[in-house]
Structure 1
Amino acid sequence: MCRLREHAVREILNQHCALEETQESAEKERFLTDKLLIPMQWIHEAKATRARRDGDRHREALHLYRAGHWNHCHRLIIQNLASDCIINDNHEYLKEFLEGLAVPERSVQIQDWDTSGRVYLDYIHVIQTLKAIQQMDSPGYELERLHTDVTSLCSRIELLPCFKAKDRLAQSEMAKRLANILRVVLSLQQGGEGTPDPRHIPLCHLAPHIGRLPMPEDYALEELRSLTQSYLREYVVSH
Structure 2
Amino acid sequence: MADGIDVRIHGLSKHFNQVRAVDDLTFDVPAGTVTGFLGPNGSGKTTTLRMLLGLSRPTAGSALIGGRAYADLAEPRRTVGAVLETAGFHPGRRGRDHLRIVAQAARIPRRRVDEVLGEVGLEDAASRRVGGYSLGMRQRLGLAAALLGRPRLLVLDEPANGLDPAGMAWLRELIAAQAAAGHTVVVSSHVLAEVARIADHVVIVNAGRLRFAGPTAAMTKTLEETFTDVTQ
The answer, yes or no, to whether TM exceeds 0.5 is no
The answer to which structure, 1 or 2, has the higher relative contact order (CA under 8 A, 6+ apart) is 2
Tell me which protein shows more helix as a share of its residues: 1
Tell me which protein shows more strand as a share of its residues: 2
Q: TM-score, normalised by structure 2?
A: 0.28
Q: TM-score, normalised by structure 1?
A: 0.27
Structure of larger gyration radius: 1
